[in-house]
Amino acid sequence: MFEVTTDWYLTLSAILFSIGFFGMMIRKNALIMFMCIELMLNAVNLTFISASKHFGQIDGQIAVFFVLVVAAAEVVVGLAIIVSIFRKQSSASVDVLNVSRG
């Protein structure tokens, strides 16, 4: 019979990360892109937790806390940026923002 091993969690995490990254590449709405970033961060968190179990050490879970805090900070600042961009051009699409074009 199958046994749920660490490999399975890692595979799940990889799939989640890939989906998030794919979304980053194809979506134009800045908000959806942020959600995709959240997906990727959660994929990483999942890796940390499964590794924590695999090695029997608590430090992986501590790392998840830090990722959580960074994600929260990033969301707060990112959403504030989106709001101010939206005020300026009344669109949340990132494709119109190309001031840093080479």
CB of 11 to another protein, least distance (A): 8
**C-beta of 19: minimal distance to another protein in Å?**
4
CB 69, min distance to another protein, A: 5
Q: Give me the least distance between CB of 1 and another protein, in Å please.
A: 8
Would you call 33 exposed, middle or buried from its count of C-beta atoms within 10 A (0-12, 13-18, 19+)?
Answer: buried
User: What stretches of the chain show up as alpha helix (H) in DSSP?
Assistant: 6-26, 30-55, 59-89
> Rule CB under 8 A: which of 57-96 touch another protein?
57-59, 61-62, 64-66, 68-77, 79-84, 86-87, 91-95
Q: Are 28 and 94 contacting, i.e. CB atoms less than 8 angstroms apart?
A: yes
Task: Please list every residue from 3 through 42 that binds another protein, using CB under 8 A.
Answer: 3-12, 15-16, 18-29, 31-36, 38-39, 42
- CA distances for 96 relative to 73, 85, 88, 90, 91, angstroms: 25, 11, 12, 11, 9
Residues in the chain: 102
